[in-house]
Structure 1
């Protein structure tokens, strides 16, 4: 292990920031259940003065419903709020349309709620009847019909502004992956020459909205998420530091091979990494495991702090790739390292 601790490492990671933009699914909860350590950590972070905005690509539920779920899980206090990609879509249109402009709302209740909240007039497909809508917002909903998807295409082809809350191709469920909003957007795109304006992660709009809610400058804001291609890539697009956690979908192997645009500032097993010191991964001061075993993955020393070893594994993998040294992409070998470090993901 080479490198030395940076001067800024002393003290918990959260002490370096005034605001946190935190993802939900895979970071705070998985379905109806809390991720281990998440609620306790976030409650302690709030007690230490860290302001938190939970930012989610899931457009189906109004923020109040999401907040109720968080309270049911044990999240305390009032120093936090929720923003959704539906709100980002509504904010985008509110800046461009006249007050009370008619906007077709396709998706769950969160879409129409956000449009009304922004001073626009949501209209469902069933109530269009030739109404002169100026835009259509497409978000996820569990009861979306073929008729609604067809209407999105008709309106977009006719010149209405088409805004997609997000383009996540899949959605995690207790039964496995299901089609996400991105899959439905892609379906509409097969029948139209139009393209949607996307506001959700990894675009910067949702992060900008969340940071405005926090009232923090970019250097004082940290993003925490479990998906490299949305949370972390979006944080980089918005010019924000990020903490990647291994409690959700993206895995250690994904992080080792992540392109630069999807690399986080820090890594931890879960959101409790906010409460311990951490070094920036891609820095000269980062500790790293330089030795690669015969199987092409970093050799872990026996013993040692698992959090520091996790940081060192990734810093070493990135250094090896930068030097042109081959590392294994065998998922089973990287899963073995996860098990050794005690950071195996959801089963």
Structure 2
């Protein structure tokens, strides 16, 4: 490791100038529940006004794109150059490629599941009508009213040979009262009674990213993903061959990023979505200028000089370089919270969440 240094790399162009389209997560990136994340709306409006299209991609299968869009407009996102895709739409697109038009598909979950199937030219069949209508597939998404009987029916259909598609397998989702079981927990319940596993389309799998990129009309090197979760947004971007910006405005924190495995490491890091407009400084271009000393507590020392972006980059690349070289890095939460405070990254916890990951 070098001593404390400042970054000397010449950085002129902003991150977004390197790309022609953005795939953007929602909760924790654009908003936290009913409240916009600081600088997010302004950044999005700046980008879309200057011709950079945005597709908001969410694992939330229960809400329709129109419902999500209404929320974004309420927050002040200008009505131009953006759209919304959901994991329900990715599931419907997957089945539309494999089934005849109009094929009956059992829809389990919120209203977004049935709407996506209809939009894709398939016929959604609610659980209550299964006795009268044979189905060729079943899409399982999260819904607050999903019952034991519906989950049992999914198992019976799968055992009888129906194609099983899960919108996502997030084990938990945030609520105003803490974590609650996510769709992955319900999928796991069904799996205990079957010999099959579902085809999963939501993050971190590539299908949702591929659908979003088809909406953008961009190639892989022209597309960047922005998200706040390493295990879904960033790992998914990597699996889809896309660059990514990880923001510290949502679920995962600096400590999580410092200990991320290679498959979940982003291209860039920033405090929030406005990092897209900051000078580009890829994390993988590690050089001695980007590294600092590990302190006696085995965590990187925060540089006293440099802007917040370069200081944050130095901390992250130092932790990665140390771990990749077999050096111990302390993982005590309070030490990393101290670093966050030094970098001005501390924020209040959200009061509520819509769980749009």
Structure 1 length-normalised TM = 0.97
Supply the RMSD in Å over aligned alpha carbons. Answer: 1.4
Q: Deviations for 1:89-122, whole angstroms, at most 9, x for unmatched residues?
A: 0000000000000000000000000000000000
Question: Aligned pair 1:277/2:279, yes or no?
Answer: yes
Structure 1 residue 3 displacement after superposition: 8.1
Count, aligned residues: 346
Match among 240, 243, 248 for residue 241 of structure 1: 243
* Counterpart in the other structure of 2:294: 292
Structure 1 residue 285 displacement after superposition: 4.6
- Distance, in Å, in 2 between the alignment partners of 1:301 and 1:314 is 12
Counterpart contact for 1:57–1:201, Cα < 8 Å: yes
In structure 2, relative to structure 1, the CA distance for the partners of 1:5 and 1:97 (3 Å cut) is: farther
* Counterpart in the other structure of 1:43: 45
SS at match of 1:36: coil
Structure 1 residue 287 displacement after superposition: 4.3
- Distance, in Å, in 2 between the alignment partners of 1:39 and 1:122 is 35
Runs of 4+, deviation exceeding 3 Å: 1-7, 284-287
SS at match of 1:236: helix
Structure 1 residue 146 displacement after superposition: 0.9
* Counterpart in the other structure of 1:333: 335
- Distance, in Å, in 2 between the alignment partners of 1:293 and 1:256 is 15
Structure 1 residue 6 displacement after superposition: 4.6
Question: Aligned pair 1:320/2:299, yes or no?
Answer: no
Question: Aligned pair 1:10/2:12, yes or no?
Answer: yes
Match among 55, 64, 67 for residue 66 of structure 2: 64
In structure 2, relative to structure 1, the CA distance for the partners of 1:286 and 1:46 (3 Å cut) is: farther
* Counterpart in the other structure of 1:250: 252
- Distance, in Å, in 1 between the alignment partners of 2:222 and 2:15 is 12
- Distance, in Å, in 2 between the alignment partners of 1:286 and 1:142 is 51
Structure 1 residue 343 displacement after superposition: 1.1
SS at match of 1:242: strand
Structure 1 residue 332 displacement after superposition: 1.0
- Distance, in Å, in 2 between the alignment partners of 1:244 and 1:168 is 19
Match among 150, 159, 162 for residue 160 of structure 1: 162
Structure 1 residue 37 displacement after superposition: 1.2
Match among 259, 262, 266 for residue 260 of structure 1: 262
- Distance, in Å, in 2 between the alignment partners of 1:94 and 1:5 is 52
Counterpart contact for 1:39–1:73, Cα < 8 Å: yes
* Counterpart in the other structure of 1:221: 223
Q: Deviations for 1:262-287, whole angstroms, at most 9, x for unmatched residues?
A: 00000000101011113110114584
Counterpart contact for 2:7–2:310, Cα < 8 Å: no
In structure 2, relative to structure 1, the CA distance for the partners of 1:265 and 1:286 (3 Å cut) is: farther
SS at match of 1:115: helix
Counterpart contact for 1:21–1:55, Cα < 8 Å: yes
Select the structure with the greater relative contact order (CA < 8 A; seq sep ≥ 6): 2
In structure 2, relative to structure 1, the CA distance for the partners of 1:68 and 1:286 (3 Å cut) is: farther
Q: Quick check: 201-210 or 306-315, which moved more?
A: 306-315
- Distance, in Å, in 2 between the alignment partners of 1:183 and 1:78 is 37
- Distance, in Å, in 1 between the alignment partners of 2:312 and 2:219 is 29
- Distance, in Å, in 2 between the alignment partners of 1:217 and 1:58 is 25
